[in-house]
Amino acid sequence: MRVFADRRLQAPVIDDFIRAADIARGTFYGHFKSTVELLDATIKWLGDETIAAIEAAMKGIHDPALRVGTGVRLWLRKSQADVAWCRFVSRIWDYGELVKSQPMADIQNGLRTKVFRLACAEAGWDLVVGTTHQAMLRYLEHTAPRNYAETVAATVLRGLGVKPIDIETIIRFPLPEMRPSDPHCASPSRSTRRFGARGIGTKGAKRRR
């Protein structure tokens, strides 16, 4: 991941990975036929691990607006904490299956339950994905203001048509712990509180405020 990220605009070659891993050329070819095959494997590993970690952190959260808002915040907190991860993911954003793992199901559920108010799920998906990607680039440029993850999440939710009073609750919701599955993956801030399965717009949620 670091080799792909560090080369930036230049495509890495096999020798770059051999030097970084301190292995023989034959060892590389024992696992991968080309750098493209290695890239595909890295994207699948990274996408599976990241999405699984976010989903595990949001276990028990069912409200679509809270899921989208919390997912965006977790993703951006990881982008802020792990520069190598952020640089790699932002580079291959439109490549392979990584971006396709974004929460279309939550957007469709939000439309079905009228939590979201927009013309179609595809527009909502583009809003979430495009805004999140641009925010990652801002973190890499070191121009993101304080509490930027919360600002971006609030902006996305506003675009999805979530009520302002619910947006305020969502961005103040303590982030659940996103446990790293790899020692190189940094973890965002911890939280011991859970919103639970209740929806943002329910009486139970309002009592918590």
Query: So what's the pLDDT on residue 196?
Result: 35
Query: So what's the pLDDT on residue 185?
Result: 42
Cα 150 to Cα 148: distance, rounded to the nearest angstrom: 5
Going along the chain from its start, the domains and CATH numbers come out as 2-208 (1.10.357.10)
Query: So what's the pLDDT on residue 30?
Result: 87
Does residue 118 contact residue 151 with C-beta atoms inside 8 Å?
no
Token pair 């299956």: residue = 97
Mean pLDDT of the chain: 80
pTM (two decimals): 0.73
Query: So what's the pLDDT on residue 204?
Result: 36
Query: So what's the pLDDT on residue 51?
Result: 78
Query: So what's the pLDDT on residue 55?
Result: 85
Residue ranges of the chain with per-residue pLDDT less than 50:
182-209
Query: So what's the pLDDT on residue 207?
Result: 36
Cα 209 to Cα 161: distance, rounded to the nearest angstrom: 21
